[in-house]
Chain A
């Protein structure tokens, strides 16, 4: 049956129905701040300036901004070339295009050369109304296999803004799963501090341990509060750095809980769940695990709320897994 009202969410990856506090275009705003005192920073996009939120940088520093046109391989090559002249090249497109069109160039021109290229991929995972052609549900699995590449999946506006600045000081190539438009504020900017390679315990608990990444961590926190009201002690571990992965932080967290729920905006194969279960196996830890993520299949198009509910990434599904263990 066709749902007549498609839902408002899903304007090119922009979350339109944000409840609670949010920041507009944290990527671009943070980059503008950083670039004020870092003249070596340049920005590029492949016809996705406005739809990736790099447009504030374009407006503030037009001389340091390069429009490459609809050519993602070229975007990544030119970014690598700029990096090889001493620039730190921030480039944006959609995750799906970076992954599928530009992979060869990301590997050889950027990662292999340890080039200072910082790639911000828009609409990672199942965040898109246009269906499988636009959904990067496999970016973590594929990019995890690339040596000398750092991968970050931030949760909210606070973390994304911090990551924009932090990656300037990471030598080499970085891929960030970006968030655009009105991006929810989950973490207090005065308290939260992103640290590369470190998983962060947001809640301590002993009954259930939720390990999450990206904006799924917001839902993990909501599930925790529901579970707490029902008398469950739930820990939440946020793992923004996918590579290098904090296996030690994960195993220490897992030892103290009865069972685990892993939540990611990615296929349950090759992404966070795979990283966690590998770490647990290596450490000799056996715990019941529920893996919540995207199925290994092509997904249909529809509003974000519609596809998330259909494919089991919504709040209700996550809360059920945490509270009921199913």
Chain B
């Protein structure tokens, strides 16, 4: 991720790092999928609503076998497949994301489609706390609960930052809102891999209601310099600084 951003000098690095632990659990523990057959009809689907977090998804898709390493170097370049925001013509990418508030409703539709077919696949949809300000999220929350889409889990990256600064409109209590809307909800430290895995396990066999995991995350997680940065929404870094950040990440995380 850092190397991808370094080529451009900027990117959604802080957010990418804060959901990296989640993506590790999703792609290497939870998701039933096949990188050789991205359109496998019974696959679990990971729907990234926050498509501008593409940098993190591409890194995960690379590790999961969808994207070759050399393609990562083309991230965000003119004419490249790996665009700054996600488009669904890229194998492994389920929806065209980035314009916020679009993912969860489509995830509800996918969950209904799977249920209709008796498809055992699950739908996971990652949204963010700032995105909760989009009304369409709550329209989808109502429909998911009404139709009892228990094959759907919404993952809410609660990192407390938005474009204009720290969460600009009060969204708390986030977990209580989802419970009130009829979703089976748990809240965990989103940068603790064990806690995230535990949340999935906790919700796994509950039937009848859609599920929500509220992930409390730290922007720039794993790199103290970034964690301390006040304006973390869209990180610009001087060329010399990138290698220092990379070293810091390796030092902090072994």
User: Which residues of A pack against B, CB within 8 Å?
Assistant: 42, 63-64, 66, 68-69, 71, 73-74, 76-87, 89, 104-105, 108-109, 112-113
Contact = CB atoms under 8 A, between A and B. Distances in A.
Nearest to A80: B106
Contacts of B96: 108-109, 112-113
B136 A81 contact: no
Contacts of A85: 109-110, 113-114, 117, 119
B110 A74 contact: no
A81 B107 contact: yes
B238 interface: no
19 contacts: A64-B116, A66-B112, A71-B142, A71-B143, A73-B136, A74-B140, A74-B143, A77-B139, A78-B140, A78-B143, A81-B108, A84-B109, A84-B113, A85-B109, A85-B114, A109-B95, A113-B88, A113-B95, A113-B96
A290 to B, nearest CB: 42
B122 interface: no
Between B94, B96, B104, B143, the greatest number of chain A beta carbons within 10 A of the residue's beta carbon is seen for: B143
Bin the interface of chain B by size.
20 to 34
Interface string B111-148: 11110110100000000000000011001101100110
Contacts of A68: 143
Contact of B109 (A63, A69, A80, A104): A80
B225 interface: no
B213 to A, nearest CB: 20
A77 B105 contact: yes
Contacts of A73: 101, 105, 135-136, 139
A108 B102 contact: yes
A83 B113 CA distance: 8
A102 to B, nearest CB: 9
B136 A82 contact: no
A87 B111 CA distance: 12
A81 B109 contact: yes
A92 B174 CA distance: 32
A186 to B, nearest CB: 36
B99 A69 contact: no
A79 to B, nearest CB: 6
A119 B139 CA distance: 19
Between A68, A73, A81, A109, the greatest number of chain B beta carbons within 10 A of the residue's beta carbon is seen for: A81
A85 B149 CA distance: 15
B113 A81 contact: yes
Interface in B60-102: 88, 94-96, 99, 101-102
A82 B117 CA distance: 11
